[in-house]
Every structure is written in C-alpha cells, then in structure tokens.
Structure 1
Amino acid sequence: MERRKFLSNSALALLAAGTMGNGCLKAKTNPARKFKIALNPGIIGVKANLVQTLDYAINYGYETISPFVEEVKQDYSPGQLADLKDKMKANKIGFGSTNLPVAFRKDNRSFLEDFKKLAPFCKTMEKLGATRINTWIISSHNSLTYNENMNQHAYRLGECARVMKDYGIRLGLEYLGTRPLLNQNKYPFISTMKEGKELIAATGQSNVGFVLDSFHWYTANDNKEDILQLKAEDIVVVDINDARKGFSRETQVDLKRELPLSTGVINLKAFMEGLVAIGYDGPIRTEPFNQVLNDMEDDAALQVNKEAINKVLALVNL
C-alpha cells in the first residue's frame, strides 16, 4: 500500500473479463510444495484487522497472514497474543511479511527518526514469531547518481538489516523492472535482478534477500535461468502477478497489472518452475493493484484471489 501512495496518480488495471468458478479453495497438501500461500488483505482491497484476517485465512485456505505489528503492539495483551498464536498453530497458519517501517528514501533526519523505532518494531515481530520484512527500491532518482544512490541504499538498508538480525528477521528488497520508472527521473537506478544482487551484497548483511515479483521479473526481461542462479534463502517473499494485454514489455507500468493468469502475458509456468527447482519455502502472494478486485465485496475478492493462486499452482502440478 505504501508504493501505491508513493507512485500513483495512475488508474488501476481491470481484471480480465469473465468470472471464475467456485472450485475448491483449500490449499492442497503436497510435499513437493515448500512455499506458503499468503494473505495480505489490504493488497486485494479487503479491510480487516489481524483477527479478521486470521479467520479469512482459515475459511479460504491461506497459509500465512501479514503481521499487524502496530496493532499488536498497541492493542494486544500477552493473553490475547497467546490465544491468537494458539489459534494460528491449531490451523497451521504462520506469518508472512510486512512493510519496512523506516523512511530510508527521504532525508537523513527522517531516516534517523524512523530508524530509532525499528528495534521496538522488531521486538514485537519477535513476540509474534514473524520473521520477514519487505520493501521496494525506486529505480531512478532526480539528484543522486547510480553510485551515490547505491551507497545510500546500501548503508541505510544495511543498518536496518543489522537491527533485524538480532531478532531473527530477514529483509526482502524488490527491484522494479518497469521502464517508465527507470526513465522518470534524471539518474537511472536498480531495475534488474543482477543489479538487485549487487545492492544485497553491498548491504554487508546475511539476512537480506529478494522480494521477487513476477511482474517486475518480466518487465526487467529476467528469465527462468536468472531464478535458477539463486538459492532458496536468497528470496524472502514472492509476488505473482500478470501484465496487461496490448502493451509491450517496455510500456508496462507499475500500478497497472492483473491477477496471475488473467491475461497470460507473463510466463508464470517458467517463473514457478524456477521457484520449485531451487526449493523456495517462503510466502507467495498476489499484488495486483487492481481496481475491480478492490471494488469487490470482501468474500468475493478473497475467493477470486485464492482461485487465481490455485491456478498458478496447477501450472507446476502443486
């Protein structure tokens, strides 16, 4: 949701025409699949607190939920937290990932003010048993050259990861592959997996990896072979999305995309084969930024989203 505020004035993409059948929504038990189907309700336009999200996950067959860290910090007693964790355990549901709560893209004062709050945030994550935080990297800048931007990102994100490591938390970084973002400011920055690897290495921290989004993998012109060069532990979170028909790879834009397999523009079979081959075992979720989905009633959105994920799993017989 943070990226939507940061980037948008763009209209959101429409879902592909037609409706989806009711099909079985429960996740299949399959020893070949190591990763977990994640529910982040805000991404699909569902308004819910942590308790409601857990109930939705149970009812619709999701396997991880986003940690509502600030809600837990403010509103949950130790007893309530214990009850929540017991319910999650009984239903075999874990925690997925949440956004980095640090303004690392802004001026140094803003960064330092937020950075002071990171340790308490991570302490609550540790109490929850949540182990993943994610953010995204804007692929151009108006005043910082590539090297200047790399140095700033490496230092600030490295410092954040250093704090997270003390609480057993990993940091996922998402490169954005769309060409308009790369060209919208004076100085281009990271927009491919290879460049993302350079930033991850530059942080100097072992608990930093990728948020790998099929949409940006496609728009960056990355491929299955690039995924096969990774280890399972190199990926913290996976997003699966499709792209709009009628647009070239170079003209796709970040906030206009589709649910996976809505259009077939992105080769999700190859994407998933790569993940299965390296044994990725983290959360997998959608991030369609899609107005039609956002406008649905909550139950309908949860069902359509889960059915889309099920279809992607079927591509690799999971």
Structure 2
Amino acid sequence: MFSNLSAGALGLSLDHPTAIDLAEKHGFGGVDPDLGFLRSLDGTAAIAEHAAAVRERGLQWGIAGLPVPLTAPAEEFRAALTDLPATLELLTAAGVTSVGTWLRPMHDDLNYRRNWVLHVSRLNLVGELLADAGLRLGLEYIGPKTFWSTERFPFLHSLGEARELIAEVGRPNIGLILDTYHWYTAGESAADLAGLTDADIVSVDINDARDDRERDEQQDLDRRLPGATGVIDLAGFMAAVRAAGYTGPVKVEPFMKSLAEQPVDEVLADVSQRLRDAINS
C-alpha cells in the first residue's frame, strides 16, 4: 500500500500541478487524479504524457470520483451514464485504475428493500461500463448514526451490508472503500475485516474520532487526524488491512476546516508522517 495525497479530502484548495509538486516534496507515494485537469489537456496523447511525467516523479494515482450519482432521479442518472464512457476514456488514457463513490445510508422515500434493488440495478450498469474500461469501483459505506438516522428509511451503513450488496451485484471489479471512521462508528472491529483480500479493497481512508463524544454521537463531517485522539483502533485496523495483502492508496480525510487555515507545508508534512506511521507500524 502507499500513502496518497488527496487535497480535497483534506479541505485544501490546490490545483493539480501544485498537488503533484507537494506530494513529491512531502514524500507521498501517490496523488489523486484530477478529472477537470485531464479534461483541460489536448486529447488522450497529452493525458498519457502527463501521466508518464507523474510516474517519473515516483507517484502513483489514487482513486478518482465516480461521476455518476447512484440515487439521482432516473433522467439524471441516465444522462450521467451516457456521459460516462467519454470520461472513462480520459481516465484510462491517464492510467487511472479505480473510481469510487459513497453509499447514501438513508432515504426519505425508498424503504430498505426498494433502495437495495435500485442500487443493485444501477451498480450493474455502472460496473459493466467500468469493467469494459478496465477500471475498478470502490463503494464506501457510511457509519455515523447521526447521519443515517436523519431520514425516514435507513439504508446500509455497515461493512457486512456493503459486502452483501457487492456480492449480489456480482461484478469482480466492484469492491470496498474502507474508512476507519465509518468502521468505528458502525461498531466494527478488526475481526470484521478478517478474510478480506486485496481484490476486495479498492481504497483506504484513515482518520480518528473526537474523544468528547460517544460512538453514536460522532458527526460524519467532524473528525480528527489519524492517531490524534486514540479513540479509533488504528493499529488494529491497519494490521487487518496488511493481512489482506492490500496494495492500494491510503489517504486521510478528516473534514477539519482548521487545516485550510494552517500553512500548507506544515499540514502536508504532518499528514505524510501520520500516513507513514500507520502504513509502516
């Protein structure tokens, strides 16, 4: 596995070339691809040239966002699906190998079963297009009760449910985005990660939780840097990820507004060290 700089996940407004420079400067092993930047280049040959330059600097690609809203109204979903092949052409030209999205853990109108059927149907369509392009899809379940309990019908919000959904879709290019925060707020332990393999995991996020809140009081968009409070068993989580033989990106996504108010080099030096500690411990 490798440490990955995701500026957006840190709340930092960095253009793509700057993010690449800073990723190299601070010893990250990878950087997130920027679809907007790829679109600004002059065709797939220029994109491939850009990707080669990134690799020459010792950086791998992290994960791109899936530009298809899984729970959007039918017309919006169909339009996004129609546009997807053109986007995938840009990503494959750059050598990007995976995209990801999160699973909305509640719905005001669809009960659990109807929402499940909707996701299976749409993930089949999206997964087929991604497989044709040679890309994997990572799905992230969302754990905090303060989020999934806010609408009429809760939906899947645990590792077990996410694995069941992936199994029912049945496409080998679809796997998990694991996040320590959702793992913790879902009440899970390292035992729940046992048996996972590299083929099951597409991307990994690490964070910590506030130490002045109980598990069910934690807010999705109010986290802490990995290892900051010790509330989350980061060592146990990472040991399980290592046991899975995971080879992909690991990033930090704390949703801390204060990071954007600090000198960027100080933030990235700290984040890079926390990632190295987590990966190598």
Stretches of structure 1 that go unaligned for 5 or more consecutive residues are 1-34
Partner residue of 1:169 out of 103, 112, 135: 135
1:31 maps to what in 2? Answer: none
Q: Tell me the distance in 1 between the aligned counterparts of 2:10 and 2:149.
A: 28
8 Å CA contact retained: 1:244, 1:263: yes
Displacement of 1:149 in angstroms is 0.4
Q: Tell me the distance in 1 between the aligned counterparts of 2:87 and 2:45.
A: 19
AA aligned opposite 2:256: N
1:264 maps to what in 2? Answer: 230
2:160 maps to what in 1? Answer: 194
1:200 to 1:293, Cα distance in 2 relative to 1, 3 A: same
1:32 maps to what in 2? Answer: none
Q: Does 1:118 align with 2:75?
A: no
Q: Tell me the distance in 2 between the aligned counterparts of 1:309 and 1:282.
A: 13
Partner residue of 1:88 out of 54, 57, 61: 54
Displacement of 1:46 in angstroms is 2.3
2:279 maps to what in 1? Answer: 313
* Larger RCO, structure (CA 8 Å, separation 6 or more): 1
Q: Does 1:295 align with 2:261?
A: yes
Partner residue of 2:148 out of 160, 182, 202: 182
Q: Does 1:281 align with 2:264?
A: no
Q: Tell me the distance in 2 between the aligned counterparts of 1:296 and 1:140.
A: 35
Partner residue of 2:24 out of 29, 34, 58: 58
Q: Tell me the distance in 2 between the aligned counterparts of 1:158 and 1:295.
A: 42
Displacement of 1:69 in angstroms is 1.8
8 Å CA contact retained: 1:45, 1:298: no
Q: Tell me the distance in 2 between the aligned counterparts of 1:145 and 1:85.
A: 43
1:76 to 1:302, Cα distance in 2 relative to 1, 3 A: farther
Stretches of structure 2 that go unaligned for 5 or more consecutive residues are none
8 Å CA contact retained: 1:177, 1:216: yes
* Counterpart mapping for 1:1-318 below 5 A: 35-77=1-43, 80-314=46-280, 316=281
Q: Percent identity?
A: 31
* SS at structure 2 position matched to 1:154: helix
1:20 maps to what in 2? Answer: none
Q: Tell me the distance in 2 between the aligned counterparts of 1:299 and 1:76.
A: 31
Displacement of 1:55 in angstroms is 1.1
The CA RMSD measured in Å over matched residues stands at 1.4
Q: Tell me the distance in 2 between the aligned counterparts of 1:86 and 1:183.
A: 45
8 Å CA contact retained: 1:224, 1:270: yes
TM norm structure 2: 0.96
Q: Tell me the distance in 1 between the aligned counterparts of 2:48 and 2:179.
A: 33
8 Å CA contact retained: 2:81, 2:126: yes
Q: Tell me the distance in 2 between the aligned counterparts of 1:189 and 1:80.
A: 42
The number of aligned residues is 281
